[in-house]
């Protein structure tokens, strides 16, 4: 059972080290890849969550704009 655990644990740890600290000690092409991977993951994770009240989808937004236009026309 220890071998199966190591088969998954070692690559996971290496991946986390590559993403988190690879730009500090790896040579230039891999260092840039590490930074780019970390930046892409950060943007993706931030994009998953809404940023605030202004980003919440309002299904009635178009209807409210139409009502305001009608009210302003009269």
User: Is 31 in contact with 22 (CB distance < 8 Å)?
Assistant: yes
pLDDT at 13: 95
pTM over 0.85: no
pLDDT band of residue 3 (cuts 50, 70, 90) is: confident
Question: 64: Cβ–Cβ under 8 A, 6 or more apart, which residues?
Answer: 58
State pLDDT tens for residues 30-65: 999 999 999 999 999 988 876 666 656 777 888 888
To the nearest 10 degrees (0 to 180), the angle between helices 28-48 and 2-25 is 110
User: Residue ranges per domain, the chain?
Assistant: 1-50
Euclidean distance between CA atoms 7 and 14, whole angstroms: 12
Cβ burial 3-19 (10 Å sphere, 16+ → b, else e) = eeeeeeeeeeeeeeebb
Is the pLDDT at 1 greater than 70? The verdict is no
Which of the two residues, 48 and 19, has the higher pLDDT score? 19
């Amino acid at each position: 059972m220890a071998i199966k655990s190591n088969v998954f644990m070692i690559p996971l740890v290496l991946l986390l080290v590559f993403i988190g600290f690879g730009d500090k000690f790896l040579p230039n092409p891999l260092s840039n890849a590490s930074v780019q991977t970390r930046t892409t993951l950060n943007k993706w994770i931030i994009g998953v969550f809404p940023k605030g009240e202004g980003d919440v989808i309002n299904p009635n937004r178009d209807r409210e704009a139409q009502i305001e236009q009608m009210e302003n026309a009269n």
